[in-house]
Amino acid sequence: MKIAVLGVGNILFKDEGFGVFAVKYLQQNYKFDPEIQLIDGGTGGFKLIEYFQDYDYVILLDVISVNDKAGSIYRIEGENLASLSSYHQTAHEVEVLQMIDLAALGGKSAKVVVLGIVPEDITKTEIGLTSSLEKVFESFINLVLKEIDSLGVKYEKINSKSLQDVVIDFIGSYNDVRSF
């Protein structure tokens, strides 16, 4: 089974980059069996549709705009995503729903599970997470690992880099802390 862990979002807008940061964190701290690929989907939009068609199972990491407390974590099966009326308030959330629908029209579509988190701030232009999401980041990562484990994929922890160190290695800045 081909499995993708796809982190999406715009890293320039605070919590909006959560999914990408989660994928980068997993890449830096864990080693997985070869059938799993960790993908930084960023703001790839409709270019990401290939992942929904080429893989058997996609674990999508994203922020979700539902009316709940910042930092609340959700696990949503792809087929139930469209019925969640408040999910699709940002441009990329609309694209995700459309990509899932379009992939199904192409004949082959991955089973999609969204692991999402309610953001506190997706409007401020800054690289880094709010404290609300930092507090639950490890719990979110544990949920991702649990999802991967449920698929029978083996993994091992290879590093203990912090979220801040991972993001600084990736983009050179995290909440105004910069590498020089």
Q: Within 30-179, where are the H helices?
A: 49-54, 78-81, 91-105, 131-150, 163-171
User: Can you give the pLDDT at residue 86?
Assistant: 57
pTM: 0.92
User: Can you give the pLDDT at residue 47?
Assistant: 84
Provide the angle, in degrees to the nearest 10, between the axes of the packed helices 18-29 and 163-171.
100
Taking 70 as the threshold, does the pLDDT of residue 91 lie above it? Answer: no
Report which DSSP code applies to 178.
E
Taking 90 as the threshold, does the pLDDT of residue 62 lie above it? Answer: yes
> What is the chain's mean pLDDT, rounded?
89
User: Can you give the pLDDT at residue 148?
Assistant: 97
Number of domains in the chain: 1
Among residues 38, 60, 44, which one has the least CA distance to residue 95?
A: 44
Q: For the chain, give the percent of residues with pLDDT over 70.
A: 91
Q: Any bridge partners for residue 3, and if so which?
A: 36, 57
User: Can you give the pLDDT at residue 82?
Assistant: 65
User: Can you give the pLDDT at residue 78?
Assistant: 79
Q: Find the domain containing 106 and state its range.
A: 3-178
Give the SS3 label for residue 28. helix
Taking 60 as the threshold, does the pLDDT of residue 17 lie above it? Answer: yes
**Residues recorded for the chain:** 180
Q: For the chain, give the percent of residues with pLDDT over 90.
A: 71
Provide the CATH number for the domain around residue 122. Answer: 3.40.50.1450
Region 166-176: what's the mean pLDDT? 94
Region 98-126: what's the mean pLDDT? 87
| Measured distance CA(5)–CA(82) in Å, rounded | 20
Q: Which helix (H) or strand (E) element contains residue 61?
A: strand 57-63
Which tokens in the block code for residue 152? 């029978």
